[in-house]
C-alpha cells in the first residue's frame, strides 16, 4: 500500500521508488518473523521507511540532490542504512534533499522542489525536505535525515513531524556524503518521539570506519525514553526537570504565532512538572557568521573530490586537465554549492585564514562553553526551531542571506555538537505547523526523548 502511495507522490519527496528491492526486503522480513530466528521480534522488523539521498545505498543510485552524482551507484551501504536494514526495515527508496544538504527549503535540489504537504505552495524546509514531506504526507512512517545546521529540526518543524539529531558522533558518518564533516550528523524524522527512539537505537553506535564515531556500548533510546524520572508521578512525569529558556531565543521581533505556540508548549511542560528557568546564550547571533564560515570551509575541502575523474559528472568536451576540472564542476554544481565553495576557499586562503576561519573556530568553542554554563542551571534548553512557519516556494528569491538568517536557532546547538529535537507545538500563521526545539547536553538523548514523549 505504501509503495503505491510513494509511486503516486505528488510532493516531489521521492527521487527513487525501489519497488523490487522493497518487496524482497518485506518478504525477507516476513520470513524472519515466521522463523522465530534472532531478531524476529525486533520492533522495526518489516517497517517501511526511506532514506535521504545523501546516504549511499547499493540498491539504487545516490545523488545528494546534485547533478554531479547523477546515476552514481555506491558499491556499499552507508552504516546507518546497513544497520536499519539489519534491523529488518524495508526501504522504499530515496528522498529528495538540497544539493549536498546545503539549504533550508529544499529549493536547492537539482531534482526539483519538494512541496509541503500542509500547503503545497510552501516549502517543506531543508535540507531534509523530502524526508519531512514523505513523513508528513504519510508515504512512510519514518525516514532518515541529516542535520549539519538544522536540516532535521527545521523541516520537522515546518511539517508538524518529530525529528531528532543526536549528539555529534552518535551515528556513523560512513557512507553519508560529506558536507561539513565536523557538524554533519544523521538522525530521523517520524510521527512521534517513540518512533524516533526506536529508529535511533537501530541507526546509532560505534563504527570503526568513522574516526569521529563515539566509542560506547549500544544504546536503547526507547528504554531511556520510558525511564521514569526520580520523584515523577503519573500526572507529573517531568517533575524536577529544569528547562532553560535562553533570552536570545525569544527576541521581541519573533513572530507572534511562533512565540505563542512555543510558550504554550512550555506551559504544558510546566503542567507536567517541569520548571522553567531563564538562561542566556549570549553568542546566539554570532552562530550565523561562525557557521557560514566553518561549514563552507569544510564543504570546499570535501567537495574537491568531485573532479570529474574519480566519480561524478565529466564534461563531454574539454581541453587540458585543468579545463576538464573546470568544465565538469561548472556544469554539475548548482549555484548555492558554487557559492559555498567560493566562500570556503576564500576563508581558508593564505592571508584570510587567521581573520576568518581561525576566529570562527575560537568563537565556536565559546559558543559550546556558553551551553555548558547554561547546563549548570538546567537539564534541557527550549525555544523555537525557526523564526517563522514554512515560507512560500520561491519567496526568498535569490537572496541566500535571508535563508542563512533563518537558521539562527538551530546553528548554536550544531556548532556545539549537542543533541536536539523538534516537537510539534501546534499551528501558526496560515495553519502551518510550529515546532518546539529542545536541546540537551551531550548524550542526553534519553532526557530529550522522555520530555518530548511526555508532551505527546
Cell numbers describing residue 59: 540498491
| Residue 386 found at the interface with ligand GLN (CB under 6 A) | no
Q: CA-CA distance, 418 to 179, in Å (whole number)?
A: 18
Closer of 170 and 225 to ligand GLN (Cβ): 170
Q: Is the bond leading into 127 cis (omega within 30 degrees of zero)?
A: yes
The stretch near ligand GLN (CB under 6 A) out of 36-44, 144-152, 252-260, 378-386 is 144-152
CA distances from 193 to 224, 272, 354, 438, 456 (A): 12, 17, 42, 12, 8
| Residue 134 found at the interface with ligand GLN (CB under 6 A) | no
Closer of 224 and 410 to ligand GLN (Cβ): 410
Site string for ligand GLN, 295-334 (x = CB under 6 A): x---------------------------------------
Catalytic residue among 60, 91, 127, 204: 127
Closer of 177 and 232 to ligand GLN (Cβ): 177
Catalytic residue among 104, 109, 151, 300: 151
Closest contact distance (angstroms) between CB of 332 and ligand GLN is: 19
Catalytic residue among 32, 52, 165, 327: 52
Closest contact distance (angstroms) between CB of 241 and ligand GLN is: 27
Q: CA-CA distance, 94 to 350, in Å (whole number)?
A: 40
The stretch near ligand GLN (CB under 6 A) out of 95-103, 132-140, 276-284, 382-390 is 95-103
Contacting ligand GLN (CB under 6 A), which of 49, 102, 142, 386?
Answer: 102
Site string for ligand GLN, 23-42 (x = CB under 6 A): --------------------
Contacting ligand GLN (CB under 6 A), which of 82, 101, 203, 337?
Answer: 101
| Residue 127 found at the interface with ligand GLN (CB under 6 A) | yes
Closest contact distance (angstroms) between CB of 108 and ligand GLN is: 8
Closer of 185 and 328 to ligand GLN (Cβ): 185
Q: CA-CA distance, 317 to 320, in Å (whole number)?
A: 10
Beta bridge partners of 119: 116
| Residue 151 found at the interface with ligand GLN (CB under 6 A) | yes
| Residue 151 among the catalytic residues | yes
Closer of 18 and 104 to ligand GLN (Cβ): 104
Closest contact distance (angstroms) between CB of 301 and ligand GLN is: 15
User: Which residues in this chain contact ligand GLN in the complex, by CB under 6 A?
Assistant: 101-104, 127, 147-151, 179, 295, 407
Would you please indicate which residues are annotated as catalytic (active-site) residues?
Answer: 52, 127, 151
Amino acid at each position: 500500500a505504501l509503495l503505491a502511495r510513494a509511486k503516486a507522490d505528488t510532493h516531489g519527496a521521492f527521487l527513487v521508488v525501489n519497488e523490487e528491492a522493497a518487496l524482497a526486503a518485506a518478504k525477507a522480513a516476513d520470513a524472519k518473523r515466521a522463523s522465530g530466528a534472532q531478531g524476529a521480534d525486533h520492533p522495526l522488523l518489516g517497517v517501511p521507511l526511506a532514506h535521504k539521498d545523501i546516504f549511499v545505498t547499493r540498491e539504487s543510485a545516490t545523488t545528494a540532490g546534485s547533478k554531479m552524482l547523477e546515476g552514481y551507484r555506491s558499491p556499499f551501504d552507508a552504516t546507518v542504512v546497513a544497520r536499519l536494514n539489519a534491523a529488518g526495515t524495508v526501504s522504499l527508496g530515496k528522498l529528495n534533499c538540497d544539493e549536498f544538504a546545503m539549504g533550508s527549503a529544499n529549493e536547492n535540489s537539482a531534482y526539483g522542489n519538494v512541496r509541503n504537504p500542509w500547503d503545497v505552495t510552501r516549502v517543506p524546509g531543508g535540507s531534509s525536505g523530502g524526508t519531512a514531506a514523505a513523513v508528513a504526507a504519510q508515504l512512510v512512517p519514518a525516514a532518515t535525515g541529516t542535520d549539519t545546521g538544522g536540516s532535521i529540526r527545521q523541516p520537522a518543524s515546518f511539517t508538524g513531524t518529530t525529528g531528532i539529531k543526536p549528539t555529534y558522533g552518535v551515528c556513523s558518518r560512513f557512507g553519508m556524503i560529506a558536507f561539513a564533516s565536523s557538524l554533519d550528523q544523521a538522525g530521523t524524522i517520524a510521527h512521534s518521539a517513540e518512533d524516533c527512539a526506536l529508529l535511533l537505537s537501530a541507526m546509532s553506535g560505534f563504527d570503526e570506519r568513522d574516526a569521529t564515531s563515539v566509542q560506547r556500548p549500544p544504546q536503547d533510546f526507547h528504554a531511556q525514553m520510558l525511564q521514569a524520572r526520580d520523584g515523577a508521578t503519573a500526572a507529573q512525569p517531568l517533575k524536577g526537570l529544569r528547562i532553560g529558556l535562553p533570552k536570545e531565543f525569544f527576541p521581541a521581533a519573533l513572530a507572534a504565532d511562533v512565540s505563542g505556540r512555543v510558550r504554550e508548549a512550555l506551559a504544558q511542560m510546566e503542567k507536567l512538572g517541569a520548571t522553567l528557568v531563564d538562561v542566556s546564550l549570549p553568542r546566539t547571533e554570532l552562530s550565523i557568521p561562525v557557521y557560514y564560515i566553518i561549514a563552507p570551509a569544510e564543504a570546499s575541502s570535501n567537495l574537491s573530490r568531485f573532479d570529474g575523474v574519480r566519480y561524478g559528472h565529466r564534461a563531454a568536451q574539454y581541453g587540458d586537465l585543468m579545463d576538464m576540472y573546470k568544465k565538469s564542476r561548472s556544469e554539475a554544481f548548482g549555484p548555492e554549492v558554487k557559492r559555498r565553495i567560493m566562500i570556503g576557499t576564500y576563508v581558508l586562503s593564505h592571508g584570510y585564514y587567521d581573520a576568518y576561519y581561525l576566529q570562527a573556530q575560537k568563537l565556536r568553542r565559546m559558543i559550546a562553553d556558553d551551553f555548558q554554563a547554561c547546563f549548570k542551571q538546567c537539564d534541557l534548553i527550549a525555544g523555537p526551531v525557526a523564526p517563522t512557519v514554512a515560507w512560500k516556494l520561491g519567496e526568498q528569491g535569490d537572496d541566500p542571506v535571508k535563508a542563512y538568517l533563518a537558521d539562527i536557532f538551530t546553528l548554536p546547538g550544531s556548532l556545539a555538537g549537542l543533541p536536539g529535537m523538534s516537537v510539534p507545538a501546534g499551528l501558526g500563521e496560515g495553519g502551518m505547523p510550529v515546532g518546539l526545539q529542545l536541546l540537551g547536553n551531550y548524550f542526553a538523548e534519553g532526557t530529550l526523548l522522555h520530555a518530548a514523549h511526555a508532551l505527546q
